[in-house]
Amino acid sequence: MALMVVLTTLILVSGIGTLLFLRTLNEMRHSQLDEKIVQTLMLARAGALVGGGFLSGPLRDQLDALVQGQASTTSCWALGGGDCSAQEPDPILTAQALNNLARALQDRVDQLTCNQDFSPEAGLSITLRVHFTDSACGQTLPTGIQLPPGRFVEGAPRSANQAATQTYALPFVLVAQGGAGIYRRNVVVQGEYRFTLGRSSFARYALFTHIHTLPNGTDIWFTDGTLFDGPVHTNTYFRFYRRPWFGGPVTSAGCTNPSQDGQACGSQRAGAYFYGQGFLSPTQMQPSPSAPVVTNRYGTHAPTFAGG
């Protein structure tokens, strides 16, 4: 009986010890898991903050460049279209225009965010993707989340006597992921990216000409001594000699017969003049219109368009 009592006691003690040991291991695992959950969640939140800075900085620059190319500067509605006497543009045309803008913007966003690791140290990871379309960085939207179409928010139609502003919105979904080893945690932020379009002041231009000649009609040439660190525009054509430098975007309307009062453009022709070479269209500019190089007996004519 004494032996049975001793054996029973040993079994009970051994069982209790085993249970305590297993519970300790389980608590250690849970403690480690809780630590990783908190760590990855904090990393994901940090990624969301990085995304916020991206939305207010580099993304705005990309959107500004795209809007300059896609928005109308002459019609009553900057994006979409519709009746100029209505209180808002046609919703279907506006949604289509904003959808085209979102697709173009998505390509640029992916180039800036995909395959980028914003982690603070080795062993940890912070990745970011921003959806303006259903697919970003080769991944679809998180389960249960949908992107509504872009929309007109507020504003009035523009007219010859009224430089009204118009506000549009592009919905977005920002997905920030924090990682530590095998552990992952996501933070998803959904919202609207709003932007306002209007006729900006001519003061933003470093140079703006209606007809790019001197008052006596003499042609103006940009040369080695030319340096403009800001937007440059003409309603006619530019002429390049040697290596002028431009820090901001360079644009031209290509009007062949502009009126003195600026009300008529005549026909339009894209391109520019290069000294000793004559007029070249964009397709004739080599290696590309954004970095043309023309070499002839007068030297090499290669303007630098740092701003596009």
| Predicted local distance difference test score (pLDDT) of residue 199 | 66
Give CA–CA dist 67/272, Å, rounded: 23
What does the pLDDT read at residue 2? 74
Q: Give residues with Cβ within 8 angstroms of 53, minimum separation 6.
A: none
What's the pLDDT at 173? 92
pLDDT at 101: 92
Cα(140)–Cα(102) distance, integer angstroms = 15
What local confidence, expressed as pLDDT, does residue 33 receive? 59
DSSP assignments along 260-293, one per residue: TTSS---SB---EEETTTEEE-GGGSSS-TTS--
| Closest of 175, 176, 129, 170 to residue 148, by C-alpha | 170
Q: Provide the H-helix boundaries in the chain.
A: 2-56, 58-70, 91-113
Cα–Cα distance measured from residue 186 to residue 47, given in angstroms and rounded to the nearest whole number:
9
Per-residue pLDDT at 135: 92
**pLDDT given at position 240:** 94
Distance from C-alpha of 140 to C-alpha of 33, rounded to nearest angstrom: 28
Q: How many helices, marked H, and strands, marked E, lie in the chain?
A: 3, 17
Residues of the chain with pLDDT under 50: none
Residue 222 pLDDT = 92
- pLDDT for res 80: 85
